[in-house]
Structure 1
Amino acid sequence: MKDPQQIRQRIARRAEKELQDGDYVNLGIGIPTLIANYIGENKRVVLQSENGLLGIGPYPFSDEVDPDLINAGKETVTAIQGASYFSSADSFAMIRGGHIDLAVLGGMEVSQEGDLANWMIPGKMVKGMGGAMDLVHGAKRVVVIMDHVNKLGEPKILNQCSLPLTGKQVVNRIITDRAVIDVTPEGLLLAEVAEGYSIEDIQQATEPPLLVSEQIIIDAF
């Protein structure tokens, strides 16, 4: 699977399984926002945005677009019945107060200890750090979703991050287009392998050594 859009959708579909019934969830900019389109009708999940919206729905159809209704990534969204609007100050009070069950964020690099780099590349224009630094410390659980390797085919899961950090030892689980990997005190634990890849393929594309779960799922997604 090499089509970038298909890869993004594949990651988003798998990441949706991390959302549990009753969760309050913040979806980061990029691939994480696609998850909203895959939330099952039988799953009661409330999506929160740093810019002041609790109750985000899926992306709108063309006749539903409201230019005043956007998420933190400046994308137009819909709002579910019962949604509420408030200031960014109130939104960050929710995050810093520990009221977000799960944050799903994009990543540029993740280290074997769960360090995350996702907010800037030195020398490139940065609009701002967004809410990621608050989310990685305020959310009860942090899942990072990203491509397994960069455009040069180099690992994005590293012994140590080379880019400026968003947070240290904050990531609980990594979901890529190739695998699901948990960050544990013993090291990185390979839990699932995507269709079309083997355990050996995942290790070759990952800098740190991987532990393999006894319950590993092959061709998981």
Structure 2
Amino acid sequence: MTWFARAATALLTLVATATVLTPGGATAAAPGGRTFLKATTIRSDDGKVLPATIYRLPNGYTETVVEPAAFQKALAAAAESSDPCGYVCDGKNPATYPVLGRDGHTYLCGSDAFSPRTLNGGYAVVELRYSPRCRTAWTRGCCYTVFSGFSYYSNGVQRDWVYAEARNSGKSVYTVMLNDAYLQYKACYDSQIGGTPEWACTGKY
């Protein structure tokens, strides 16, 4: 089985079993625990339009999820033009880190990024950002809280995490990247003020 076929299979499994952490620490299963609100679209940073669905979660939050087939198509197109950058991309800035495409041109990892999952918790919004070209993920969010992202091996063991501080900022912030080839990632924000963080998270991609 090719890496793309494995990635597509893993993606379908993740969409079917993704969970969202509520402020009280409980988890709500998707899709059974969520309610369809409406179909929508999102736009990648290189202009591609991807179909998505907005769901209402049991805790009242909403999550926008890109359709799995559209995600697979984006991965397939990127695989034809460049190789994933792997672990060398861990800790790099997606807005400035360059990779070489098969056409000989240099691209920034953030140049083809989109948000396959976006969680709106009311006072804060967190996006799981993804680069098909680099096969990397990171977190972007706003405002007045702490944002994080967690990377996992396919067996569920946590591999790494990233962090961006925005407690005193009304502006959008983003973390550095983590490799996401054959891995899983979720984007989170701290849903409480002070004390031990209580992470509200997107589903994994």
Report if TM-score (shorter chain) is over 0.5.
Answer: no
Bigger Cα Rg: 1
The TM-score normalised by the length of structure 1 is: 0.28
The TM-score normalised by the length of structure 2 is: 0.29
Structure with the larger RCO, 1 or 2 (CA within 8 Å, 6+ apart): 2
The structure carrying a bigger strand percent of its residues is: 2
